Amino acid sequence: MSRFIAHRTTLNFQAPLYNTRVQAGFPSPADDYLEGSLDLNEHLIQHPAATFYCRVCGDSMTGVGIFDGDLLIVDRALTPRNGDVVLAALDGELTCKILDSKGRRLLAANKRYAPIIIPEGSHFEVEGVVISSVRRHRCLPS
């Protein structure tokens, strides 16, 4: 089961946004054209009052690009749909999984983990839909 630390904060940061896409394969010539600035609130968050952040612990969601230590952006205002990655509470335990509402279960995105069946009569609640994740690629100095 994953552990989470929740944060209710606002990303108040704007940075330059360049008009060209960056090659992840063979390098292309740099283009110095600046499109404007990017506000991460506008780009990532649709419902600020209903959005919170939490840090994930564990490797059960690596198949969808969520890794141990990633910061999840969770929107409580969205209605969860079958196949959404959600933050769910099952009998008081929080977990990040794929919602299989048709099969009444929560699915990991790592084949090492079995599906979690949602038993009849259990206390189950979707806390929110995971809309994005943020991963650090370079560690901060200690």
Residue 73 has pLDDT above 50, yes or no: yes
Q: Is 2.10.109.10 the CATH classification of the domain at 5-10+47-134? A: yes
Cα separation, 16 vs 33, in Å, equals 11
Q: Kindly report, residue by residue over 76-118, the tens digit of the pLDDT.
A: 999 999 999 999 999 999 999 999 999 999 999 999 999 999 9
Residue 32 has pLDDT above 90, yes or no: no
Residue 17, pLDDT score: 53
Residue 5, pLDDT score: 47
Residue 139, pLDDT score: 77
Read off the pLDDT band of 1 (50, 70, 90). very low
Cα separation, 93 vs 105, in Å, equals 14
Domain boundaries, the chain: 5-10+47-134
Q: What is the residue-wise DSSP string for 113-134?
A: S--EE--TTS-EEEEEEEEEEE
Cα separation, 107 vs 14, in Å, equals 36
Q: Which residues have a catalytic role annotated?
A: 60, 97
Residue 142, pLDDT score: 67
Q: Kindly report, residue by residue over 34-68, the tens digit of the pLDDT.
A: 567 777 778 888 998 899 999 999 999 999 999 99
Residues whose CB is less than 8 angstroms from the CB of residue 125 and which lie 6 or more positions away in sequence, other chains included = 88, 89
